[in-house]
Chain A
Amino acid sequence: MAGVVSALRANALHETEMDAAPSTAPAFVEFSDVCKSYDGETLAVAHVDLAIGKGEFVTLLGPSGSGKTTSLMMLAGFEAPTSGDIVLAGRSVSRIPPHKRNIGMVFQNYALFPHMTVAENIGFPLSVRGVGRETVRQKVDRALALVRLSGLGHRRPTELSGGQQQRVAVARAVVFEPDLVLMDEPLGALDKQLREQLQLEIKRIHSDLGVTIVYVTHDQSEALTLSDRIAVFNGGGIRQIGTPMEIYERPLNSFVAQFIGESNRLDGRVISRNGDRCRVQIGADATIEARAVAIGDVGCSTSVTIRPEHVVINPPPGGWDNVLTGLIETIIYHGDHARAQLRVADSQVFTVKISDPRNASALKTGETVQAAWRASDSRALDPDPAAGAAP
Chain B
Amino acid sequence: MPAAPSAPLGGRQLKQRLRRIQRRQALRAFALLAPLMLFLAVNFLLPITLMFVRSVDDPDVRRVLPRTLAAISNWDGLALPSNEAGAALLADLGAVENREDLSRAANRLNYDINGFRSLIFRTARSAGRIDATHAMDALGALDQRWKDIETWGAVKRAAGPTTSFYLLGALDMKKNAGGEIHRVGSERAVFTLVLARTLWISLWVTLLCLLLGYPVAYLLATIPSNVANILMILVLLPFWTSLLVRTTAWVVLLQTDGPVNGALRWVGLIDQPLQLIFNRVGVYIAITHVLLPFMVLPLYSVMKSLGPTTMRAAISLGAHPFTAFLRVYVPQTMPGVFAGTLLVFISAIGYYITPALIGGADDQMLSYFIAFYTNETTNWGLAGALGVVLLMMTAVLYLIYSRLAGGAGPRWA
**Residues of A near any B CB (own CB < 8 A):** 76-78, 97-105, 107, 109, 111-115, 124-125, 128-129, 169, 172-173, 176, 182
| A104→B331 CA distance, assembly (Å) | 22
Contact B312 A111 (CB under 8 A): yes
Of the stretches B69-77, B230-238, B315-323, the one at the interface is B315-323
Contacts A115-B331, A128-B323 known; A176 to B318 CB distance under 8 Å? yes
Contact A98 B315 (CB under 8 A): yes
Contact A124 B319 (CB under 8 A): yes
| Most chain B CB neighbours (cut-off 10 Å) among A105, A111, A173 | A111
**Residues of B near any A CB (own CB < 8 A):** 309-310, 312-321, 323-324, 327-328, 331-332, 334, 408
Chain A residue with the shortest CB-CB distance to B321: A99
| Most chain B CB neighbours (cut-off 10 Å) among A76, A114, A128, A169 | A128
Contacts A113-B328, A115-B332 known; A128 to B317 CB distance under 8 Å? yes
User: What's the least CB distance linking B44 to chain A, in Å?
Assistant: 36
Contact B332 A105 (CB under 8 A): no
Contact B317 A172 (CB under 8 A): yes
| A78→B315 CA distance, assembly (Å) | 9
User: What's the least CB distance linking B239 to chain A, in Å?
Assistant: 32
Contact B332 A104 (CB under 8 A): no
Count A/B pairs, Cβ under 8 Å: 72
User: What's the least CB distance linking A95 to chain B, in Å?
Assistant: 16
Complex partner residue of B318 from A76, A99, A107, CB under 8 angstroms = A99
Contact A111 B309 (CB under 8 A): yes
| A237→B332 CA distance, assembly (Å) | 38
Contact B316 A113 (CB under 8 A): no
Q: Which residues of B contact A104 (CB under 8 A)?
A: 316-317
Q: What are 15 inter-chain pairs, A to B, with CB distance below 8 A?
A: A78-B315, A98-B315, A99-B316, A100-B318, A102-B318, A105-B317, A111-B309, A111-B312, A114-B310, A114-B332, A124-B314, A128-B317, A128-B323, A129-B318, A172-B317
Complex partner residue of B309 from A98, A101, A109, CB under 8 angstroms = A109
Contacts A111-B309, A115-B331, A115-B332 known; A98 to B316 CB distance under 8 Å? yes
User: What's the least CB distance linking B59 to chain A, in Å?
Assistant: 56
User: What's the least CB distance linking A77 to chain B, in Å?
Assistant: 8
Contacts A111-B310, A113-B310, A115-B332 known; A128 to B318 CB distance under 8 Å? yes
| A310→B169 CA distance, assembly (Å) | 98
Q: Which residues of B contact A103 (CB under 8 A)?
A: 316
Contact A76 B316 (CB under 8 A): yes
Contact B313 A105 (CB under 8 A): yes
Q: Which residues of B contact A77 (CB under 8 A)?
A: 316
